[in-house]
Amino acid sequence: MQTIPQAPFHNLHALWFQLTGTLCNLACSHCFISCSPTNHALKFVAPETVYRYLDEAETHGVREVYFTGGEPFLHKQIIPILARSLQAAATSVLTNGTLITPTVADELAALATTSRYSLEMRISLDDVDEARNDAVRGKGALRRALRALRLLQERGLPPIVAVTEYFYEAPETTPQEPGSGSGFYQKFRDFLLENGIEKPRLKVIPVFAMGKLHPSETGAAYVTPGMMHGFDVTTLQCTKSRIVADGGVYACPLLVGEPEARLSENSLSEAMQPCSLYHTACHTCYVTGMTCSNY
């Protein structure tokens, strides 16, 4: 039986929270962890649990905090939770944007204005065409996400837009003017500019053979021990981040709920140990340099 390689833990750069478990108001057809309005496999994380782990993370010098789901804005205590997080480190929220109303945008802007650290909002889209986007995310998803983008822009919180490259062909190779971009990057950049987002930022996410995407669709592969020889393991996000979710602390935001990825039931310090690179997602991160963080 082949030995499964491991990634050592170096330092706690980023702490993640799977704030609303697997519950989401959308049911995207490519969701990596199969979130939906009816998936209760992973429960919400209670505010007091978030605060306890933030206290512990501060003792380890955490530099970034991320909140994801599910859909984080389904959590009724999201604003006070963000307020506490912003006392500890720069904080980001990964959201589909559909629940960001003018009132919510005002609350987020107030937090960003009064906090010591920066607040980032990352909104997921799949296409600039309403029909194509909503075929993946559900009717009205693009319209509501675009509303969120505008609301945040108007309040001085220019969002990051996340796009999964699974739906797009390879970028065009035809020479263009310097800085013009190509492929779907240019497509989304122009879309954001046209809709009032003055400084477009795009986070490109590779496809992962997991969740609602069957491995056969994406050419699943695994990290082997030989692949680790001479490889800079610090490029793997699991060497410098951990995620808190229902059930404990896990090695990776993509592997929450997986028994093999759970490193501790109730201690962040205990979870700062080597983790196994056993999943197809590990191979994707290995070959693409993917990180779930903003940059």
| Residue 178 forms part of a structural domain | yes
Q: Where residue 170 falls among pLDDT bands split at 50, 70, 90?
A: very low
- Closest C-alpha to 205, from 121, 98, 288: 288
Give the CATH number of the domain where residue 32 resides.
3.20.20.70
Q: Is the model's pLDDT at 153 over the cut of 50?
A: yes
CA dihedral 75, 87, 91, 266 (to 10 degrees): -60
**Predicted local confidence at residue 213, as pLDDT:** 57
d(CA 262, CA 244): 10
Mean pLDDT along residues 243-252? 97
CA angle 257, 260, 265 (to 5 degrees): 60
**Predicted local confidence at residue 164, as pLDDT:** 83
268 exposure class (CB count in 10 Å sphere: 0-12, 13-18, 19+): buried
Cβ atoms of residues 4 and 276 within 8 Å: yes
Cα 111 to the center of its chain, rounded Å? 21
List pLDDT tens digits, range 185-201.
888 999 999 988 988 99
| Residue 294 forms part of a structural domain | no
**Predicted local confidence at residue 29, as pLDDT:** 87
- Closest C-alpha to 243, from 21, 87, 5: 21
d(CA 195, CA 147): 10
pTM comes to 0.92
| Residue 293 forms part of a structural domain | no
| Residue 120 forms part of a structural domain | yes
Other beta carbons less than 10 A from residue 246's beta carbon: 19
Cβ atoms of residues 94 and 122 within 8 Å: yes
The chain-wide mean pLDDT, for the chain, equals 90
| Residue 1 forms part of a structural domain | no
Cα 114 to the center of its chain, rounded Å? 25
Give the domain extent around 107.
6-288
Residues in contact with 60: Cβ distance below 8 Å, sequence separation at least 6, in sequence order: 11, 12, 268, 269, 272
d(CA 96, CA 161): 10
List pLDDT tens digits, range 46-69.
999 999 999 999 999 999 999 999
Could you give the percent of the chain with pLDDT greater than 90? 79
**Predicted local confidence at residue 98, as pLDDT:** 98
| Residue 295 forms part of a structural domain | no
d(CA 29, CA 197): 27
Other beta carbons less than 10 A from residue 252's beta carbon: 23
List pLDDT tens digits, range 4-34.
999 999 999 999 999 999 999 999 988 888 9
**Exposure on the CB side of residue 189, measured as CA atoms within 13 A:** 11
**Predicted local confidence at residue 214, as pLDDT:** 56
| Residue 110 forms part of a structural domain | yes
| Residue 211 forms part of a structural domain | yes
Beta pairing class for 262-264 and 248-250: antiparallel
d(CA 271, CA 276): 12
Cβ atoms of residues 280 and 210 within 8 Å: yes
**Predicted local confidence at residue 63, as pLDDT:** 98
The total of structural domains in the chain comes to 1
Q: Where residue 173 falls among pLDDT bands split at 50, 70, 90?
A: very low
List pLDDT tens digits, range 181-240.
457 788 899 999 998 898 899 998 887 766 555 555 556 789 999 999 999 999 999 999
